[in-house]
Amino acid sequence: MFGFFELTEWPIPAPNIVPVEHGYRIGDTVVFREKANIWCWQKSGATSVAAIRQIWSLQWKMKDMRLFWFFLIVSLLAALAACAPTHAYDLAIPDQADWIECGPIFSAGAEGEWDFYLWGGFASTVVKKDGIFYLYYQGSDGYDDEEHTVTWRSIGVATSSDGVNFTKYEQNPVLTWFPNNNLEEGAVSGGAFLDTTGEIAIYYGANYWIGGSEVNADGRLATASDGFAFTDQGVVLDHSDSNVWGSGDELFPVIGFEDNGRYVTYYIPNGVPQRGQLGVAWGNSRDGLTNTAAARSGASTISVWGPGSFAKVGPDVYALFTNDVYGPDGPVLEVRTVSLDVPDSLSAPLQSYQFENVWEGIVYLDDETDTWFMFYRSFDHEYYGVKIAASDGREIVCPVEQAYLPSVTKGGNAVQYAGCTLNDRP
């Protein structure tokens, strides 16, 4: 409760407050409580949401105006924090129970190979072009015992015609970044999309060595017409630009897409007070992201740590899938919606996925087959796997008889499969 007020008159009947029923009388002293009459409203034709605390048309004589202003400000802030936008969308987003496990699709490389370690960054991202899935993923071949982290981070790709049977590209990695040939450098995050040019474009985080074991990281752009031979196109998010939200040290793009000439990337700052909070940048060209902001749900920032992904689910509405591997209840993959009109205003979580065998995941909606794909890194970081769900409500069966098993080993040791038994597979 915030204070005491004297009820002086009821000039207009209050729609949902009947004085007699509630025991109020003119001249009564009334205790106003925090939860009274808070709701959200949305302007017609817009997606911005405001939170209002309305006291209908009651006239109150304040015994302490300072208390009134305190009450009003705190109430509005509380209401804003409680309210998040909602968006109309056409496709059903899968519940956790809708996902069907299809098992591992490829494993970490052998010792000495570029992807011996599958962790150490946020580079998981997927694109489908000309009927082929391009699944980009993080790999590292070394480990720094002093810094307790992996080294020589790069991005490679595995391809598939059905989203289940994947083959690693023989000339991996396809995207590297070692300007000073330092082991702490590398391509460490990514958000890939199919551009209107027909190229696959990736907004990616690029570590740049500045001395000792310290690095900065910019968000950069790379493109490839074939999905393999990437060319770096320069910086799009400058860590040293104070106009960029979350700037100062490291910026890691994790989602990227284009829609009707608007380019958007969601990113994660590190090494600054905004560490682990989702940011967004957008503009009218893929290398001209002139707007940046914190991504919020209502008045709250969004905690993230891991890769991200997107799916278009309405005319101007996207579902965003973000990971927080350090969530209070363990790793979680959350789903929110956002309108292109206001890319920094996200809905409250619509789904929160937590699977025993999943450390982090990305989601792709295949319009050609009406199928959702969840590509995930296993909890033990030893392999990538896939789950599927139908977008049209039909029953769906994972083609386990075609799943790629031979690569699901590391150092001669079989990786545990969490779906069907090995006897169910070829």
Q: Judging by DSSP bridges, how do beta strands 250-259 and 231-237 pair with one another?
A: unpaired
Tell me which residue has tokens 């699977």: 355
* CATH architecture for segment(s) 96-424: 5 Propeller (2.115)
Residue burial 86-124, b: 16+ Cβ < 10 Å; e: rest: ebebebebbeeebbbbbbbbbbbbeeeebbbbbbbbbbb
pLDDT tens for the chain, 426 residues long, are: 333 334 444 433 433 333 333 344 444 444 333 333 333 333 333 333 333 233 333 333 434 556 556 666 665 555 554 567 776 667 889 999 999 999 999 999 999 999 999 999 999 999 999 999 999 999 999 998 888 889 999 999 999 999 999 999 999 999 999 999 999 999 999 999 999 999 999 999 999 999 988 999 999 999 999 999 999 999 999 999 999 999 999 999 999 999 999 999 999 999 999 999 999 999 999 999 999 999 999 999 999 999 999 999 998 999 999 999 999 999 999 999 999 999 999 999 999 999 999 999 999 999 999 999 999 999 999 999 999 999 887 888 886 444 444 333 334 333 433 333 333 333
User: What tokens appear for 116 in the block?
Assistant: 């011996």
Q: Cβ(294)–Cβ(274) under 8 Å?
A: yes
pTM of the model: 0.77
Q: For CATH 2.115.10.20, list the domain ranges present in the chain.
A: 96-424
